[in-house]
Amino acid sequence: MTAKSLVTRRTVLAAAGLGAVGAAVAACSGGDSASENAGPAEPTVQVVFTPSLDSPDAPNPTDTFSVKAENGQLNPDIKLLNPNGKVVQGEMSDDQTTFTITEPLGYGSEYTWQGSAIGSDRVTAPVEGTFTTLTPESQINVVVNIGDGQEVGIAAPIILKFNATVDDKEAVEKALSVTTEPETEGAWAWLGEDNGSRVHWRPKDYWVPGTKVHMSADLYGVDHGGGAYGAADVTSDFGIGRSQIVKAESSSHQIVVVRDGAVLMTLPCSYGEGDLDRNVTRSGIHVVTEKYEDFYMSNPAAGYFNIRERFAVRISNNGEFIHANPETIGVQGSSNVTNGCINLSLENAQRYFDTAVYGDPVEVTGTRIELSEADGDIFDWIFDWDTWTGMSAIQGDPEQIDAPATPSGAPRSAAPAG
């Protein structure tokens, strides 16, 4: 090795050693560089919860629940857990900035957010926190009279029956909707309390045969007033069948069954004797609600109990039926002698029974007492249209839907009877 090479190598080693020492000195010195006191970098991403986790009011379980990353994105680990630790369904936005819950939550339950978000500086921030949904003082259930897939007659109303009193009827009615094909003009009306509130929807005129109907009662989370909230949503999808109307003029001593505008059958009968009010067949539009091949009837005022009657079609909850009665065959077609029912022969009762469906109208005329609210559940057609729409809890000038309707030609009372 030459002297020149040796010098060069020693110089390099010395320089390297000096650098190491210098680094050590710098590391141990008490200089005031800004980097010396710097802690972990603050994340630039901000996490925003909807509803806010620090809100003093418990959120409604049907509110929109979401978490949003501002100045960053949410990581795929984002989730909301229910009290049992199960993941609640949710959906991430395309830009990964917002995660929104897509299913209703439960009443009075604690939920927990988990996950993380990351900013453009690549620093993550936790997504964490809990909230508890509101706890109603009580919950109100509702049932609907027409089931999915059912085919009903042209006079059938939609009936929602609540198991308690609804104080805020306007709020509840706003959560109800009826859509039809073809479009049909109709309205909701609140009727008298019957171990709970009830609201009916009926068309202005009889339904058009073949109409398809969807009813939606989005009542879960709706404040019914008085601390009560809806327990569940209810829907019904059903159809309107053929048009069948019973024309029942008492002085004729017969009923005429009209199917799709043509006479299907004319049957001799006997109506209520009418000597006492309880023996008067009520005038007005009745609606078929039930039918029984065998039915045991009792009328304490008339002195009979558990009498077996055949092919009984109920047309009112006041005890009015169209049914077979062999004891009145001798006067059917000539005299009215019953306790208010419409009596037919056994053969004719079965003929009519086989054609009747829920919602068929039975138009009784010519008697001295009108059908009224006192006579049962379905007395919707005693009201003229202005009176009916005035029984809605939502007053004003709502948009009306014009649609073809089947003219009934039936008598109408100008105001509620009774």
Strand order in the sheet with 198-203: 142-144, 158-162, 198-203, 186-191
Q: Looking at the DSSP assignment, which residues form a beta bridge with residue 217? A: 176, 234
For residue 286, which phi and psi values (nearest 5 degrees)? Answer: -85, 165
Question: Which helix (DSSP H) or strand (DSSP E) does residue 170 occupy?
Answer: helix 169-174
Question: Which helix (DSSP H) or strand (DSSP E) does residue 12 occupy?
Answer: helix 3-28
Where residue 217 falls (left for φ over 0; alpha for ψ -120 to 50; beta otherwise) is beta
Q: Looking at the DSSP assignment, which residues form a beta bridge with residue 56? A: none
Q: Is 98 helix (H, G, I), strand (E, B) or coil?
A: strand
The position carrying tokens 């210098």 is 22
Strands 228-230, 234-240: pairing kind = unpaired
Q: Which residues are catalytic?
A: 323, 341
Distance CA 297, CA 304 (A): 8
